Amino acid sequence: MKIKYLVLIISCLFLSMNSFSQIDSTQQLCDDPNFHAEINSLWTDVKPSFQAMVTNSGADSYNLYNLQSQSEPLLRHSFKHEKYNLTDELLTMYSQARSTLTTTDKYRYFGYNSTFSPVWSVETMHQNYSMWVDGQDPINPATEDLISSSQFLALVSYCIREISLLDSASRTTTMNTFVSDYLPVLNSHYNRWIFGTYINNGSNLQGHFQRRGWGCAYNGTYVPTMLTHKELIERLSLNQMGNGSAPNYCNTVTDKDLWIITGVSNYMAAFLTDSALISLKPSNYNDLQLYLSTANTLLQNRTTTTALSDFDQNAVTGALFGKNDWDAYPDHNHANNSQVDTLPANSSTAPGIGLGWDISHGTRFYSVFTSLNRNRNILGMSFPDANQMEHFANQFAYGIFNQDFEYPTFSNFSDGTDGWYRVGYANRPGFGIPPSGLAETALKGMYAEYRAYNDDIDTIMTALYNLIHYPDSTQRQFVIDTYEKNVWSNDVPVDRREYVFPLSSNNTAVAIGTKKNLLSFYSSICDPEIMAIPLPYSNYTFQLSRNNCQPKLYWKIIDPSQLEQINIQRANSKNNTFVDIKSFEPKEQNEFVDYHIEDGQIAYYRLEFISQDNTKEYSLVKAIPLNCNSTIFNTVNLYPNPASSNINIAYQAKNETNYSLGVVIYDVCGRICFEKELKSNSSLLNYTLNIEVLNAGTYFLKYSDKENGYSGVEKFSISK
């Protein structure tokens, strides 16, 4: 790391100072009272803008989306630094959003109730619910903005989780009022979203989630609409929201899914921490626990590791969430076009494969995964642990960051691909985000807080702070091009920020936008996150894995002499009632493989501990999706990846034993490097391809199984 530190030392010699001198580390700022005064000054300037978002959330609930994303870093800062006066100011502001809720039994829905084309309809629910709908008309309501509502309520749940961790004497009156005011709102929204409501006097619970608009079909039949979130999560766990020719993103976990899961996680953890503060019916607790178990397993299964090198060229592990989830999504149509001076034409696409998320939407990951990590012990969840949090941090430091400490910038996509994003988005003329156009999210997206898991991120943020504050003329132009003119409209870049210090005292829209970003940045760089909060006690470990395609349970008891019997209990997604399936005498450790579970569903397990006085206690619930006969078929597996001299192509067909698989390999420029029809006389095809003639780099393998009607694209790399 000698080079990076030399760059930082040299950068300290550049120019005269404005508010602060050049810094050697962010800790230098955090120890300076003037820096905290600067945070307070920025808060004073932007607070009216935040307040306006709350006021206007009744007319347009998207204001709640912006309120969460722009104020959460400051909220976290207030809790961690025990600035409870600031916390109370924010809680008071959030509380006012309750006045913009609309109470109604009507739900405006754009979907496919009983037609083959989407139509608007107003459905009648079996009772009144409070929702954020644009215009606040209870008779003819606008559509509920699920992403805005779920994102804001995740923020509310985070507040309640933090309050539950304070001893009662440290809680302010504002905090206690906030909890009591928002608990009914959380209960109402999460139960309606997750478990559904009776619509139009129907006898079955229905929800508000669908993927039909994306053309999603499973086994040739369009997937159901009006799903509850529980049903959606179960289907996603089994990859049953689409297959065959349906787009990859039919099975994606979206941001609204992440926000609902995170909000429930914080809500449940707060209840388990202080049940006197948070009320929850036992039946509701059990239902939410099953839901969270499924959701947590889903998120873990959608996270894949990457091979990276740190600044000293040591091998490290990174992580991508949803690596292939957004393949072929229109926003990514030009991801492999890195030409910065010309907006790509919509007709000349260069789509990316295996990119993961763009780093703007990836700003959710810190908020989501940190909450899940902190709550994992008390909720009995396995994902993410500290190592996985480190992998996410590594991905940002060594996969997304350009490793230039004089001119720091960041790729648009999580895998490190840096091409155009959202060209022509929402039919806007000449619109697009150029390569590194999303780099600004490194300032405002809480990426700085990953430094708790990787010290090199402190160095990155130090370089970024020095760049925007004290550049020479060349660096200043770099800031303009990369961090200010970072969006194109009408075929030209638009100046949206102005990082000129000292900041303007005239609070124009541009100045306020800059101050909001700086407030988020400053709030994040001093706040390493707390690791997982341990259980108050733990006298057992309980793990669930697969033995081939069967659930395998393993447990270890610290003091088995206190127990009379251990029962394994099972429930599934078709029947949520736990039943005993096997009993064991207590001993230090044991394991069990369940061979009697139907494929194509979610299985839930828990342990029942019966003590010698016949007292019963239960482990937390573990979930596992069983989809051995549905998801391993009709997809290509490439290994090793990266490859050097040979790469293996494995394909498992479901119903055919004599078929051919068309394979085409092309490079990032679209040039065909290899093309062949691979013949197979069994359902499993294995083919080893010699790739010694190909140069090191990134390649794509497109495959087509015409007999089975399946096709797809896989990304791989060659290293020499």
Strands (DSSP E) found in 228-363: 303-309, 315-321
> What pLDDT does residue 113 have?
60
> What pLDDT does residue 600 have?
67
Pairing mode, if any, of strands 636-639 and 622-626? unpaired
Pairing mode, if any, of strands 672-680 and 659-667? antiparallel
Q: How far apart are alpha carbons 487 and 519 in whole angstroms? A: 21
Q: How far apart are alpha carbons 659 and 656 in whole angstroms? A: 7
Residue 543, classed as helix, strand or coil, is: strand
> What pLDDT does residue 606 have?
84
> What pLDDT does residue 654 have?
57
> What pLDDT does residue 504 have?
77
What sign does the dihedral 232-235-239-243 (CA atoms) show? negative
pLDDT average per 10 residues of sequence, the chain (720 residues): 42 37 84 91 96 96 96 95 95 97 91 70 92 89 92 98 93 97 96 94 90 88 92 94 91 97 96 87 83 94 94 95 93 94 88 94 96 88 91 97 96 96 93 96 94 93 92 89 92 88 81 92 76 48 74 81 86 72 82 76 82 78 67 63 81 68 83 86 76 86 74 79
pTM exceeds cut of 0.85: no
Cα Rg for the chain, rounded, in angstroms?
A: 26
> What pLDDT does residue 693 have?
87
Tally Cβ neighbours within 10 Å of residue 434.
28
Domain annotation for the chain: domains and CATH numbers: 2-53+302-525 (no CATH), 101-198+258-296 (no CATH), 540-626 (2.60.40.10), 636-718 (2.60.40.1930)
Residue type, 121: S
Q: How far apart are alpha carbons 671 and 682 in whole angstroms? A: 31
**Rounded to a whole number, what is the distance in angstroms from the first to the last CA of the chain?**
24
> What pLDDT does residue 629 have?
52
The secondary structure of 128-190, three-state, reads: EEEECECCCCCCCCCCECHHHHHHHHHHHHHHHHHHHHCCHHHCCHHHHHHHHHHHHHHHHHH
Q: How far apart are alpha carbons 556 and 164 in whole angstroms? A: 30
Per the CB < 8 A criterion, the answer to whether 272 and 206 are in contact is: no
Per the CB < 8 A criterion, the answer to whether 537 and 55 are in contact is: no
> What pLDDT does residue 8 have?
40
Per the CB < 8 A criterion, the answer to whether 209 and 147 are in contact is: no
Structure tokens at 667: 């490079």
CB-based burial, 357-388: b 16+ in 10 Å, e otherwise: bbbbbbbbbbbbbbbbbbbbbbbbbbbbbeeb
Give kind and range of the element (H or E) at residue 7. Answer: helix 2-11
